[in-house]
């Protein structure tokens, strides 16, 4: 699936993605494939797979995103912040 980083929590090394269906997915830095956690910030486009919940999760917990990788043409963040639009041509 393709989605967009909605928010990141640098202290906890986790964040949330919005998938193509508008559903929110939790991800942890251990789910990243070929991308450093610091390269993610709100608005960064990613590919991911959904794994659902795990044993021990609470019933209202978010679906989990695994195998999270950057899309081919995405602009990466630096220290979880995107460069200003004038630096990325947007």
pTM here is 0.83
d(CA 62, CA 6): 13
Residue from 87, 51, 45 nearest 70 by CA: 45
The pLDDT assigned to 76 comes to 86
Number of H helices, E strands in the chain: 1, 5
> Pairing mode, if any, of strands 2-9 and 14-18?
antiparallel
What CATH number matches the domain at 2-88, 2.40.50.140, 1.10.1740.10, 3.10.129.10, 3.40.50.2000?
Answer: 2.40.50.140
The DSSP code for 24 is: E
Percent residues over pLDDT 70 in the chain: 83
User: Tell me: the pLDDT tens digits for 5-24?
Assistant: 999 999 999 999 999 999 99
Spell out the domain ranges in the chain.
2-88
């Amino acid at each position: 699936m393709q989605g967009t980083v909605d928010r990141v929590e640098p202290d906890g090394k986790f964040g949330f993605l919005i998938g193509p269906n508008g559903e929110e997915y939790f991800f942890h830095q251990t789910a990243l494939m070929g991308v450093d956690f610091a390269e993610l910030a709100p608005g960064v486009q990613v590919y991911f797979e959904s794994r659902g919940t795990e044993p021990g999760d609470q019933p209202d917990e978010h679906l989990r995103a695994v195998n999270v990788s950057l899309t081919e043409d995405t602009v990466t963040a630096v220290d979880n912040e995107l460069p200003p639009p004038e630096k990325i041509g947007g």
